[in-house]
């Protein structure tokens, strides 16, 4: 497999050297170049993706359409097209830089992102999207205003980059400068149509536009953790082009602190990737036997 490198820079974006992508993200990540892409369809919806559980940074959380790192000795002029083809299987059209000098730093679960990260906007044909399951666990199309609401109401479900890269406007960024009112321009008017079915996620909620399994309409605030024995229900799911297995732990209280701590503990014990959602814990691979042992050791009732 070809090794991927990132370009290390100073605060003025002057190149200092390079480092292996697989080794650069840790608790003291050096400043480096990156880029981020927001993709829209002609109805004005934006593509969001749930990052694969095996990703080193923000596994299993939702994020914007596509992110990556430019090759050495190249500025962020066209690398998003190459990354979009590799990660999403589609060709972006009419790309332009919405935030050319964006700089951000974020930390989660002891891993730091520290980047000079220009943000680009482009249009794409939804029918062309064919994500690489090693990069993308699932994806969905969502109206821009709904996305802003999600970022504000449930920030814990989203990557720090996606939350901070939004413009803050209730309008979506246009598809290209100087082309207001064009069919591809998401600023022309908020779309009124709702996606009801996605080939990637099946049926979607007509109210929020998300796949039914990730519907946010019935989301609740943190539930208290009851005293006594908890009940965990295990099931195996497969998704993506490669049909990768994920063991899902369901039936637990919807308590973010509990679920995140459990996900961190089980990932280490199983030696694999995983994440916590609003209502479940997901661990990469078929590790049901190991999870039965670990959860039973806590005195929990384990089913499935």
Question: What are the start and end residues of each CATH 3.30.780.10 domain in the chain?
Answer: 231-303
Question: What are the start and end residues of each CATH 3.90.79.10 domain in the chain?
Answer: 5-214
286: its two tokens: 């078929």
Active-site residue set: 67, 115
Mean pLDDT of 254-259: 86
pTM, full prediction: 0.60
Residue given tokens 């880029």 in the structure block = 35
Tens of pLDDT, residue by residue over 272-301, are: 888 887 778 989 889 999 999 999 999 999
* CATH class of segment(s) 231-303: alpha beta
Beta carbons within 8 Å of 165's beta carbon, 6+ residues apart = 36, 38, 64, 99, 102, 104, 117, 119
Tens of pLDDT, residue by residue over 188-229, are: 223 333 333 343 444 555 455 455 555 555 444 467 888 888
Question: According to CATH, what is the number of the domain 5-214?
Answer: 3.90.79.10
The helix/strand count (H/E) of the chain reads as 6, 19
Q: Is 170 exposed, middle or buried (0-12, 13-18, 19+ CB in 10 A)?
A: exposed
Residue 257 pLDDT level (bands cut at 50, 70, 90): confident
């Amino acid at each position: 497999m070809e090794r991927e490198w990132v370009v290390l820079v100073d605060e003025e974006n002057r190149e200092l050297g390079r480092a292996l992508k697989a080794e650069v993200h840790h608790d003291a990540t050096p400043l480096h170049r990156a880029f981020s892409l927001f993709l829209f369809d002609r109805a004005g919806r934006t593509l969001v993706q749930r990052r694969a559980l095996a990703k080193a940074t923000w596994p299993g959380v939702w994020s914007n359409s596509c992110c990556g790192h430019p090759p050495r000795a190249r500025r962020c002029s066209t690398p998003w097209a190459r990354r979009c083809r590799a990660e999403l299987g589609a060709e972006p059209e009419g790309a332009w830089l919405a935030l050319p000098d964006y700089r951000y730093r974020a930390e989660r679960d002891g891993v730091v992102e520290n980047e000079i990260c220009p943000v680009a906007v482009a249009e794409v044909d939804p029918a062309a999207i064919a994500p690489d399951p090693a990069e993308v666990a699932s994806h969905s199309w969502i109206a821009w205003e709904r996305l802003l609401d999600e970022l504000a109401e449930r920030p814990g479900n989203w990557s720090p980059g996606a939350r901070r890269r939004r413009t803050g406007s209730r309008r979506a960024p246009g598809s290209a400068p100087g082309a207001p009112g064009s069919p591809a321009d998401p600023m022309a008017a908020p779309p009124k149509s709702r996606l009801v079915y996605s080939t990637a996620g099946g049926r979607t909620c007509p109210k929020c536009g998300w796949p039914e399994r990730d519907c946010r309409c019935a989301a609740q605030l943190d539930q208290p953790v009851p005293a006594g024995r908890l009940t965990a229900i295990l099931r195996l799911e497969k998704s993506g082009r490669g049909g990768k297995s994920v063991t899902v732990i369901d039936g637990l209280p919807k308590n973010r602190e509990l679920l995140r701590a459990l996900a961190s503990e089980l990932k280490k014990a199983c030696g694999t990737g995983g994440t916590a959602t609003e209502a479940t814990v997901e661990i990469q691979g078929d590790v049901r036997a190991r999870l039965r042992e670990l959860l039973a050791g806590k005195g929990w009732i384990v089913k499935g």
